[in-house]
């Protein structure tokens, strides 16, 4: 086999080597991406603008309830990735302490988000709506995944230690969003497949905007 043929031959485990493998790859990525988008879609409807489900002058219920809960538990000791290896021991043997991050999150929520919830609620709702559209349509999918990483990380820090919450529900959101950021699912399905050739042409002409758009699709 010539060196040129070796360069052209796909490497197993990195590039799909047959139509069946390519189909499996595209279908799996589409399911994961649309699934992540649909998760955020389901969370839009209990905090719809303009009141975001809040009551009593934006002090109770809806989005305001969870924001207040983050403030209330901000100073509690918080551990992530807990593993109880020895059942007879009190507390987990393996964990990552994130109490400092939870405290900082509580300060930000208390001093920035809560006093401005009437407009900050639109930022939260709009970000989740953008993630839904981006992931399900394959539209600027890497940018949508980056937003999902940010949103998932904030929820993980602020609510993973809350009563009746399972920390891995938030960790898995972050991990799936990281995977989607690396994969850029819109390159396999959706609108990004149509946009990328145009952005590539802009990039090759030396456009910095074109390079940025090409990166995030």
Assigned domain for 135 exists: yes
Q: What is the pLDDT of residues 37-64, one digit of tens each?
A: 999 999 999 999 999 999 998 889 999 9
Residue 41 inside a domain? The answer is: yes
Residue 128 placed within a domain = yes
Query: Distance of CA 122 to CAs 47, 49, 55, 68, Å?
Result: 10, 7, 16, 17
Domain that holds residue 135: 17-189
The number of domains in the chain is 1
Span 108-131, average pLDDT: 96
Give the residue-averaged pLDDT of 134-142: 97
> What is the rounded (10 degree) CA torsion for 32, 36, 41, 44?
170
The reply to whether 69 falls in a domain is: yes
Residue 113 located in a structural domain: yes
Q: Residue 88's pLDDT band (boundaries 50, 70, 90)?
A: confident
Q: Is residue 9 part of a domain?
A: no
Please state, in angstroms and rounded to a whole number, the distance separating the CA atoms of residues 122 and 128: 10
The Cα–Cα gap between 122 and 10 comes to: 46
Give the model's pLDDT for residue 1. 47
pTM of whole model > 0.75?
A: yes
Q: What is the average pLDDT across 175-195?
A: 95
Is pLDDT at 92 greater than 90 in this prediction?
no
Residue 4 domain flag: no
- Confidence (pLDDT) at 93: 84
What is the rounded end-to-end Cα distance, in angstroms, of the chain?
Answer: 36
Does residue 32 sit within a domain? yes
Mark residue 42 as left, alpha or beta (left: phi above 0; alpha: psi -120 to 50; beta: remaining): alpha
Bridge partners, residue 79, by sequence = 97
CB atoms within 10 A of CB 86: 8
Distant-in-sequence, close-in-space partners of 134: CB < 8 Å, separation ≥ 6: 37, 140, 141, 143, 144, 145, 147, 186
């Amino acid at each position: 086999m010539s060196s040129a043929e070796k360069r052209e031959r796909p490497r197993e485990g990195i590039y799909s080597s047959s139509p069946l493998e390519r189909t499996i790859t595209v279908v799996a990525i589409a399911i994961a991406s649309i699934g992540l988008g649909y998760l955020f879609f389901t969370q839009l409807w209990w905090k719809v603008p303009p009141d975001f489900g809040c009551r009593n002058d934006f002090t109770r219920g809806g989005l305001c309830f969870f924001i207040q809960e983050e403030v209330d538990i901000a100073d509690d000791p918080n551990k992530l990735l807990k593993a109880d290896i020895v059942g007879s021991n009190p507390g987990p043997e393996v964990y990552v302490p994130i109490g400092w991050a939870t405290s900082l999150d509580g300060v930000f929520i208390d001093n920035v988000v809560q006093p401005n919830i009437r407009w900050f609620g639109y930022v939260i709702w709009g970000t989740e709506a953008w993630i839904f559209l981006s992931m399900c349509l394959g539209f600027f999918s890497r940018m949508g995944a980056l937003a999902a990483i940010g949103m998932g990380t904030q929820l993980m820090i602020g609510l993973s230690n809350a009563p009746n919450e399972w920390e891995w529900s938030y960790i898995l959101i972050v991990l799936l969003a990281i995977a989607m950021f690396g994969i850029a699912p819109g390159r396999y399905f959706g609108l990004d497949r149509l946009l990328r050739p145009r952005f590539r042409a802009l990039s090759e002409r030396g456009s910095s905007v074109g390079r940025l758009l090409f990166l995030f699709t």
